[in-house]
Amino acid sequence: MSALEIHGLTLMRGQTCTARDVSLRFRPGAVNAILGPNGTGKSSLIKAMFGELTPKAGRITLGDQVLNRRNLYRWRGVIGYMPQDTGIEAALSTLDVVLLGRMDALHMHIGDDDLHAALSAMRAVGIDHLAQRDVQSLSGGQRQLALFAQVMLRDPQVLLLDEPVSALDMHHQMVLLEHVRAETRARGLITVMVLHDLSLAAQFADRITLLGDARIVAEGAPGDVLTPEIVGPLYRVAVERLTDSLGHPVIRPIARQSFPSTGL
């Protein structure tokens, strides 16, 4: 499978520039994390890759395909997209929500293969016991896992995950991210996810992009990007870098040594 590439992308939301001349390349089989302070354009970048935001300049390509309005349906057909908002208004069971991942293939009769695949996707993230629960009765974290299982049921070639662990406890964060990494490598997926936890990103991402003021501040391997010299000024807080038992960098803020506020 070819790489997903962003070429000189500029995005606007009203009068606000959310991406300024951004160029990135995401290759198959690698987990990519987009990090940065609030309001630096992380979600806008994910939405643009899904085709929800139209660039003011630049283009997005997947192999020889160029994203545009004419091929939007085909483009999205290979993408599993999980936005930040996990709100589900319909009165459905958790299993029904997951099965919506195969909406295009479902008919009046749901086959055994679809049910088996849906339950397998739920089992992989530890929510198969919630199959018959009303989705409205689930916690925010449980709904997040159900929507992730729905995304995986689509059998995507590209995974776009916007803060997929924001509502999860520590155990389920590890379950989901370990599953993302394993599936990315086993299937050769192109995976791009927005995270806020720098140390989690250091554990699970092969490449990290740091955004600041709608621009790329740094891009590369976690050990090269997550340094006090880069992270501290970007987040306006003093930090120190430790190393965990597996050799991953751990970024820890130091209290009462913040950088001057920029008014955000």
Instruction: Report pLDDT digits (tens) over 4-23.
Output: 999 999 999 889 999 999 99
pLDDT tops 70 at residue 111: yes
pLDDT, position 255:
81
Query: Residue 27: helix, strand or coil by DSSP?
Result: coil
pLDDT, position 109:
62
Pairing of strands 237-243, 249-258: antiparallel
Measure the CA angle with vertex 42, ends 168 and 249; round to 5°: 65
The pLDDT of 120-128, averaged and rounded, is 95
In the sheet that holds 30-35, the strands lie side by side as 79-82, 158-162, 190-194, 30-35, 207-212, 215-220
Phi and psi for 46 in degrees, rounded to 5?
Answer: -65, -45
Mind listing the pLDDT tens digit for each residue in 141-189? 999 999 999 999 999 999 999 999 998 999 999 999 999 999 999 999 9
* Contact criterion met (CB below 8 Å) for 164 and 180: yes
* Contact criterion met (CB below 8 Å) for 182 and 189: no
pLDDT, position 242:
96
pLDDT tops 70 at residue 257: no
pLDDT, position 258:
58
Q: How many whole angstroms separate alpha carbon 176 and alpha carbon 171?
A: 9
* Contact criterion met (CB below 8 Å) for 18 and 41: yes
Phi and psi for 145 in degrees, rounded to 5?
Answer: -70, -35
- The CB-side HSE value for 219 (13 A sphere, CA atoms) comes to 12
The answer to whether the Cα torsion of 202, 161, 170, 130 is positive or negative is negative
pLDDT tops 60 at residue 263: no
Mind listing the pLDDT tens digit for each residue in 200-217? 999 999 999 999 999 999
Q: How many whole angstroms separate alpha carbon 162 and alpha carbon 154?
A: 17
Mind listing the pLDDT tens digit for each residue in 38-93? 999 999 999 999 999 999 999 999 999 999 999 999 999 999 999 987 667 778 89
Q: Name the DSSP letter for residue 58.
A: E
The answer to whether the Cα torsion of 118, 121, 124, 130 is positive or negative is negative
pLDDT tops 90 at residue 103: no
pLDDT tops 60 at residue 127: yes
